[in-house]
């Protein structure tokens, strides 16, 4: 089956991107050097085509009710102009996806992952069946993330939209554009949803303003340094938010709100999760990768994702380890036990090391 192309596909190819299949899409992995793109974002500004992500608009009298049932965080915080990060859970408390819910007037916008598109849309539709909800996937929109210390000035200069006053996780809509001060890099910036036929012009103007193209490779190293999780690697339907360092995204109040997964999650909460997600940093040489075994003071765990950190100059990752695991650990890399240490993410914020 042919991979889907975003509205920016031709610009990526013209920009000598290395295109790779990703979740059914043909996406830019890098435009030459992933390390250089990572440093561009940390040091100045970079832009990512993330149009492969799934955008779903919810309208109708019961849109709030639907999200109250399915979104583990507090939808009430997603008032018009505000965005809230959280997870959708199955009945066992496992994570179906992590999403951002944007408050609109009226209704909501849900941005979920590309790889989970079908199951998330099905999940929303099934639960909306007995409700008055108008559910519309926005395949007509592109999504561009502009990230880095210079991202805001570059974006405001490249467009006629002054969004410099937007607070983190705030959103502004105008002329079919939605600009949110959110991101996946640990840097300042915006994520912009806009009509497909305007995406190329914005991309070009940002490029003229000095914003570097950045691919999925840099996006992965940036998000991991920032302590942000990747669905399918660090969490999935077999892991709960309590086991994924995402307990802070679960709104337990009001107690009568009966969201899917609540009961199972409450049981796990009362006895305490057996496994938790922690950061690992490698003291020796090598690169931590998904699936490697970690030996800790509290027993064995497993690496969920790992990278060579361009900012720190050594390898870091996430591992799911027994609760109580702390201090030094050993990470099995190609048959050798390499010493490492368990830490609390994030690793890097705004270009600086933040873990202890």
Partner 1 sequence: MNDVSSDMRPDIPDDYRYAPSHEWARVEDDQVTVGISDFAQQSLGDVVYVELPQVGDEVNAGAEACVVESVKAAADVYAPVSGTVVAVNEALEEAPEMVNQDPYGDGWFFKVEPTDLEEMDDLLDADGYEQHCESEADED
Is residue 217 within 8 Å of residue 35, measured between CB atoms? no
> Most distant CA pair in the chain: distance in Å?
58
What is the smallest separation between the CB atom of 287 and partner 1, expressed in angstroms? 5
Whole-number Å distance between alpha carbons of 298 and 330 = 12
> Is residue 18 near partner 1 by the rule CB under 8 A?
yes
Taking the CB of residue 18, how many other CB atoms lie within 10 A of it? 15
What is the smallest separation between the CB atom of 139 and partner 1, expressed in angstroms? 26
Contacts of 162 (CB under 8 A, 6+ apart): 156
The binder of partner 1 chosen from 6, 34, 54, 296 (CB under 8 A):
34
Q: How far is CA 44 from CA 147, 150, 153, 338, in A?
A: 8, 5, 10, 34
Binding map of partner 1 across residues 177-216, x = CB under 8 A, - = no contact = ----------------------------------------
State the residue for tokens 């805001």: 152
Stretch that binds partner 1, among 34-42, 49-57, 91-99, 166-174 (CB under 8 A): 34-42
> Is residue 33 near partner 1 by the rule CB under 8 A?
yes
Nearer to partner 1, 220 or 234 (CB): 220
Q: What pairs with residue 189 in β-bridges?
A: 147
Binding map of partner 1 across residues 291-320, x = CB under 8 A, - = no contact = ----------------xx------------
Q: How far is CA 91 from CA 201, 231, 249, 263, 293, in A?
A: 44, 18, 17, 8, 29
Q: How far is CA 168 from CA 50, 108, 188, 354, in A?
A: 19, 18, 8, 19
> Is residue 44 near partner 1 by the rule CB under 8 A?
no
> Is residue 29 near partner 1 by the rule CB under 8 A?
yes
> Is residue 35 near partner 1 by the rule CB under 8 A?
yes
The binder of partner 1 chosen from 14, 167, 271, 285 (CB under 8 A):
285
Whole-number Å distance between alpha carbons of 165 and 159 = 15
Nearer to partner 1, 73 or 292 (CB): 292
The binder of partner 1 chosen from 138, 289, 341, 349 (CB under 8 A):
289
> Is residue 217 near partner 1 by the rule CB under 8 A?
yes
Question: Which residues contact partner 1 (rule: CB under 8 A)?
Answer: 16, 18, 29-36, 217, 221, 285-287, 289, 307-308, 334
């Amino acid at each position: 089956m042919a991979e889907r192309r975003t509205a920016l596909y031709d610009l990526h190819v013209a920009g000598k991107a290395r295109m790779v299949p990703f979740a059914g899409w043909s996406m830019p992995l890098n435009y030459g050097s992933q390390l250089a793109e990572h440093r561009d974002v940390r040091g100045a500004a970079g832009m990512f085509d993330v149009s492969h992500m799934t955008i779903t608009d919810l309208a109708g009298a019961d849109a709030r009710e639907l999200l109250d049932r399915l979104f583990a965080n507090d939808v009430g915080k997603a008032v018009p102009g505000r965005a809230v990060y959280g997870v959708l859970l199955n009945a066992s408390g496992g994570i179906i996806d992590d999403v951002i819910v944007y408050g609109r007037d009226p209704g909501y916008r849900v941005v979920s992952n590309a790889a989970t598109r079908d199951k998330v849309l099905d999940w929303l539709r099934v639960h909306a069946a007995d409700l008055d909800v108008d559910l519309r996937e926005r395949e007509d929109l592109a999504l561009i993330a502009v990230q880095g210390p210079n991202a805001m000035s570059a974006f405001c200069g490249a467009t006629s939209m002054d969004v410099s006053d937007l607070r983190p996780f705030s959103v502004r809509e105008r002329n079919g554009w939605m600009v949110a001060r959110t991101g996946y890099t640990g840097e300042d910036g915006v994520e912009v949803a806009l009509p497909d036929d305007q995406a190329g012009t914005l991309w070009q103007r940002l490029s003229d303003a000095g914003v570097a193209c950045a691919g999925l490779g840099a996006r992965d190293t940036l998000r991991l340094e920032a302590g942000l999780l990747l669905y399918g690697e660090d969490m999935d339907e077999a892991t709960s938010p309590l086991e994924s360092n995402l307990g802070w995204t679960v709104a337990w109040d009001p107690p009568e709100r009966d969201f899917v997964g609540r009961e199972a999650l409450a049981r796990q909460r009362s006895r305490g999760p057996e496994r938790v997600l922690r950061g690992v940093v490698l003291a020796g040489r090598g690169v931590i990768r998904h699936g490697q075994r970690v030996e800790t003071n509290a027993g064995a765990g497993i690496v969920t994702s790992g990278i060579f950190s361009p900012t720190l100059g050594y390898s870091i990752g996430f591992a799911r380890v027994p609760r109580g695991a702390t201090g030094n650990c050993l990470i099995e890399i190609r048959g050798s036990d390499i010493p490492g240490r368990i830490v609390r993410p994030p690793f890097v914020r705004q270009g600086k090391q933040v873990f202890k």
